[in-house]
Copies of this chain bind each other. A is one copy, B any other.
Amino acid sequence: MTTSAETSRVDGRALDELRPVTITRNWLDHAEGSVLVEFGRTRVLCAASATEGVPRWRRDSGLGWVTAEYAMLPRATNTRSDRESVKGRIGGRTHEISRLIGRSLRAVVDYKALGENTIVIDCDVLQADGGTRTAAITGAYVALADAVATLRERGALVGDPLTGSVAAVSVGIIDGTPMLDLPYSEDVRAETDMNVVMTGAGSFVEVQGTAEGAPFDRAELDALLGLAEKGCADLTALQIQSLETHGADAGGPGA
- Chain A positions within 8 Å of B, measured between CB atoms, are 22, 24, 28-31, 34, 36, 38, 41, 43, 45, 47, 49, 51, 69, 71, 73-80, 83-96, 98-99, 103, 107, 120, 122, 124, 126-127, 129, 194, 198-199, 201-211, 214-218, 221, 225, 229, 252-254
Which chain B residues lie closer than 8 Å to A204 at the CB level? 209, 211, 215-218, 221
Which chain B residues lie closer than 8 Å to A254 at the CB level? 22, 38, 43
Given A92-B98, A202-B217, A253-B253, 16 other A-B contacts at CB below 8 A? Answer: A28-B127, A29-B129, A30-B76, A45-B73, A69-B83, A92-B95, A96-B96, A96-B99, A107-B211, A107-B215, A203-B217, A204-B209, A204-B218, A206-B209, A207-B221, A221-B225
Tell me the interface secondary structure of chain A in the complex: mixed
Number of copies: 6
Q: Measured between alpha carbons, how far is A49 from B198 in the docked complex, in Å? A: 37
Which chain B residues lie closer than 8 Å to A43 at the CB level? 252-254
Q: Measured between alpha carbons, how far is A199 from B202 in the docked complex, in Å? A: 30
Partner among B92, B124, B209 whose Cβ is within 8 Å of the Cβ of A73: B124
Q: Measured between alpha carbons, how far is A216 from B203 in the docked complex, in Å? A: 5
Task: Looking at the assembled complex, report how far the CB atom of A21 sits from the nearest CB atom of chain B, in whole angstroms.
Answer: 10
14 pairs across A/B with beta carbons < 8 Å?
Answer: A22-B254, A38-B253, A43-B253, A45-B126, A69-B74, A75-B122, A85-B85, A86-B90, A92-B99, A107-B215, A204-B216, A205-B211, A206-B210, A218-B225
Task: Looking at the assembled complex, report how far the CB atom of A251 sits from the nearest CB atom of chain B, in whole angstroms.
Answer: 11
Tell me the nearest residue of chain B to A216, going by C-beta: B204
Q: Measured between alpha carbons, how far is A80 from B48 in the docked complex, in Å? A: 9
Task: Looking at the assembled complex, report how far the CB atom of A118 sits from the nearest CB atom of chain B, in whole angstroms.
Answer: 10
Which chain B residues lie closer than 8 Å to A71 at the CB level? 83, 85
Which chain B residues lie closer than 8 Å to A22 at the CB level? 254
Partner among B30, B41, B83, B120 whose Cβ is within 8 Å of the Cβ of A85: B83
Partner among B95, B201, B202, B210 whose Cβ is within 8 Å of the Cβ of A95: B95
Q: Measured between alpha carbons, how far is A45 from B73 in the docked complex, in Å? A: 10
